[in-house]
Chains A and B, each alone.
Chain A
Amino acid sequence: MTSIILMIVGLIGVGYGFATSHHSLEDVKEMIAAQEAGHGGGHEAETKAHVVAGVEDHSDNSHKANAHDALADTHEGSSHADAVDHDEEHAEHVQHRLANRPWAALYVAAFFFFMIALGVLAFYAVQYAAQAGWSPLLLRVMEGITAYMLPGALIVLLIASLSHFIGHDAIFNWMNPEMVDPDSEKFDKLVSGKKGWLNYWGFLIRGLIFVGGWYLYRHFSRKFSIAQDSADDNRNFKKTFRISAGFLVFFLYTESMMSWDWIMSVDPHWFSTLFGWYVLAGMMVCGITVISMITIYLKSLGLLPKVNDSHIHDLAKFMFGFSIFWTYLWFSQFMLIWYSNIPEEVTYFVTRFQDYQLPFLGMVAMNFIFPLLILMNSDYKRIPWFVIMAGIVILCGHYIDIFNMIMPATVGDQWAIGIPEIGSILLFAGLFIFVVFTALTKAPLEPKRNPFIKESEHFHY
């Protein structure tokens, strides 16, 4: 019921976002004028602030980055005629970004919830492949969450496609055919060099192959898991063990490629080698967090009587460990790029530092410092409301993480967390809850003949 209310409210929010995103050029100009008037004579000071901030880590290329986005810089040192031209161009630029906003908001939320389900699927496969003895009591909870993987992934692909066909390439600018057409004035040599990989049909077909592979695993592991309940030998378990090992190999390759396609390619000029693992770490944290939150919720309803606080403790340890793993990858990616300061790589972080300072640094606090201090104590990891509280902060932090990956490339400095963003979150949260809890009702919550179920019931740390 809540899920349906969430979906409806979310849908209204998303609709409102789209309805208000189309601004005429005149409107945008007025908005910019209003913003600048609001700043008063503060231009000089602002510019100085820019330069000082520029010293921080990118003194060499601050100009390059600023020429793109900064409002103040474009006015300086240009003749009046140039300024008019600039204003025109600038207004058009801002107009595009405003139009992108509801698309990007929808995409971020869709990807975030899909990512949770995929992370849980990977974690589930690991439990089988590692023959974990503590987790079989939680396997049905995980299966319930992974039910969202297929619809979630298809929605992500659908939004990407719609943003191409209806939204004028609002999310992925490389989908614009003009960018690879040498005769067009929008021709981009870098993007056209990558068109062997970055082209719409390639994107779609790859996406469908990834999703198809993941779904096959999810389908068969679920089928064998239910068949095992009424079997009289362990054949089904062994089959799941084998396909889990195979799936993990497939998953690691496709997850990496998926992260290039679905996330990294929003900045088609930028690349990073550890990006796939970075996205993976984020998705594992979110997945495990959602497993523990749903487990605690079901236990509070009395539906999982055999789950004890040692299970919660283990899940919280995984949340803690993967939070730190995420931070490790985040910092490795950031520090290597910051340290070498190569212009083609560093612009990625320059835009994030200039326009997204609060979410960029706030996310590190939420995803690292908070879980580090909260979940370090072994006693706290057994207290359900503590785990739930940490989980909420971690999930919000990782939403902002995805936000920081997508938004700077699509809406740039026109970002905000307002009705389109919150509406999208509510919409997909509602859908997620609906799909997951429907799937949870489809099978008994305790697997019956799992070879490790006894060990799991008596699991004690």
Chain B
Amino acid sequence: MEASKVIHAIYNDDDVLMNAVKKVKAERHHIEEIYTPFPVHGLDKAMGLAPTRIAIASFMYGCVGLTVAVVMMNFIMIEDWPQNIGGKPSFSYIENMPAFVPIMFELTVFFAAHLMVITFYLRSTMWPFKKAENPDPRTTDDHFLMEIAVHGNENELTDLLKETGAVEINLIDKAH
């Protein structure tokens, strides 16, 4: 990474931030990261982030859950020991299927939900003893921070950011 220097521009309003993002994008500067205390509606679109695929992952996990439920109960109730329990027809899976539906449903939801959450943690690298990454504690309360890589165009960038209404502009040396 040659961009060892970054600029931190701090804003205190999400509307101002949105306009700043649009302007910075229009000037073709690369925004490394934005830290906000709450979700800003439309920020991902303004930054041009790719849409998430976690819903697709969740759908596939749900299919896995459904398969697990079917295979499990087919083996236990039909193949391994097909007992007559209260007259329920355990001759084939389909004949006793309605009795299995609640479990099929729950396992589908269970797999879809839990594996999706775990996927989210993995993709966003979150775990219990992880060191917090926010560059300025105020970004968790009432300030918004935009991080832009500097490629020797420091002054030009500072002027641009000032124009967009930043309340504070800091040049940071990133220790690698």
Q: Which residues on A are within 8 Å of B, measured CB to CB?
A: 55-57, 59-60, 331, 334-335, 338-339, 341, 376, 378
Contact = CB atoms under 8 A, between A and B. Distances in A.
Contact of A57 (B55, B95, B101): B95
A56 B101 contact: no
A59 B87 CA distance: 9
Interface SS majority for chain B: helix
Nearest to A378: B55
Given A335-B98, A335-B101, A339-B99, A55 B91 contact: yes
B89 interface: yes
Most chain B CB within 10 A, of A56, A60, A376, is at: A56
Interface SS majority for chain A: helix
Contacts of A331: 98, 101
B98 A341 contact: no
Contacts of B55: 378
Interface in B4-40: none
Contacts of A335: 98-99, 101
B59 interface: yes
Contact of B98 (A60, A334, A378): A334
Contacts of B91: 55
A55 B88 CA distance: 10
A341 B87 CA distance: 10
A339 B89 CA distance: 11
A442 B101 CA distance: 49
Interface string B33-63: 0000000000000000000000100010000
Contacts of A57: 89, 95
Interface string B87-105: 1010100010011010000
18 contacts: A55-B89, A55-B91, A55-B95, A56-B95, A57-B89, A57-B95, A59-B89, A60-B87, A331-B98, A331-B101, A335-B98, A335-B99, A335-B101, A339-B98, A339-B99, A341-B87, A376-B59, A378-B55
Nearest to B99: A339
A338 B87 contact: no
A263 B8 CA distance: 68
Nearest to A341: B87
B139 to A, nearest CB: 27
Interface in B94-119: 95, 98-99, 101
A59 B95 CA distance: 12
B4 to A, nearest CB: 40
